[in-house]
């Protein structure tokens, strides 16, 4: 049900039970979660989060992928399409394990996730909800062709809504 996709350096695949240790460690790191809710997660909370991410695929037909480095098989983070009830739109989001920051994995995988969204869903826009202080994610948004659209308060945090339209995505990808 969950398609396996690839980039030059990454496999985008379903989450597996054996991802829990490294996923829980990623979600327990204060620096990693500072801009995605601001609260570290226990192992049990991380497991429930994984179950929620998997359930999103069943309910919406799209969701988050686990990212795996092709060269080593290492888990490096998550990227995916997300639209829970009450969200401001269909989002492409990313979280990279701190040990893999600075390698360009987020934009590499986000480009593929955005393309998957436009190629498989009847969308006019894909957004990214980014905390106003998260400069690294803002840089990723720029790299994937998104533009800042507006500011909203999401779950108590001031966030900028970035986005790319289908037309802009076609232009960026020469389609």
C-alpha distances in Å from residue 54, one per residue of 49, 78, 89:
9, 12, 19
Supply 94's token pair. Answer: 């990313």
Question: How many domains, the chain?
Answer: 1
Q: Give the pLDDT of residue 1.
A: 85
The Cα–Cα gap between 77 and 93 comes to: 11
**Residue 34 counted as domain residue:** yes
**Residue 169 counted as domain residue:** no
CA–centroid distance for 138 within its chain: 13
pLDDT tens-digit series, residues 1-59 = 899 999 999 999 999 999 999 999 999 999 999 999 889 999 999 999 999 999 999 99
**Residue 139 counted as domain residue:** no
**Residue 72 counted as domain residue:** yes
Query: Quick count: other Cβ atoms within 10 Å of Cβ 74?
Result: 13
Burial 86-114 (b: 16+ CB within 10 A, else e): eeebbbbbbbbbeebeeeebbbbbbbbbb
**Residue 143 counted as domain residue:** no
Q: Find the mean pLDDT for residues 136-157.
A: 96
Q: Give the pLDDT of residue 117.
A: 98
Query: pTM score, two decimals?
Result: 0.96
**Residue 51 counted as domain residue:** yes
**Residue 137 counted as domain residue:** no
Q: Give the pLDDT of residue 174.
A: 78
pLDDT tens-digit series, residues 71-128 = 999 999 999 999 999 999 999 999 999 999 999 999 999 999 999 999 999 999 999 9
Q: CATH number of the domain that 97 lies in? A: 3.40.630.30
List the domain range (segments joined by +) for residue 49. Answer: 5-123
**Residue 57 counted as domain residue:** yes
């Amino acid at each position: 049900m969950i398609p396996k996709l690839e980039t030059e350096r990454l496999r985008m695949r379903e989450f597996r039970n054996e991802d829990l240790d490294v996923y829980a460690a990623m979600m327990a790191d204060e620096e990693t979660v500072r801009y995605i809710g601001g609260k570290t997660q226990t192992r049990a909370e991380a497991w429930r989060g994984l179950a929620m991410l998997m359930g999103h695929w069943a309910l919406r037909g799209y969701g988050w992928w686990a990212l795996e480095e092709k060269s080593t098989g290492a888990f490096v983070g998550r990227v995916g399409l997300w639209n829970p009830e009450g969200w401001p739109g269909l989002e492409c989001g990313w979280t990279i394990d701190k040990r893999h920051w600075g390698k360009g994995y987020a934009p590499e995988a986000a480009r593929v996730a955005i393309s998957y969204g436009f190629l498989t869903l009847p969308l006019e826009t894909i957004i990214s909800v980014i905390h106003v202080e998260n400069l690294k994610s803002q840089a990723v948004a720029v790299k994937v062709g998104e533009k800042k659209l507006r500011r909203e308060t999401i779950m108590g945090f001031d966030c900028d809504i970035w986005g790319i339209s289908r037309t802009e995505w076609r232009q960026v990808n020469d389609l």
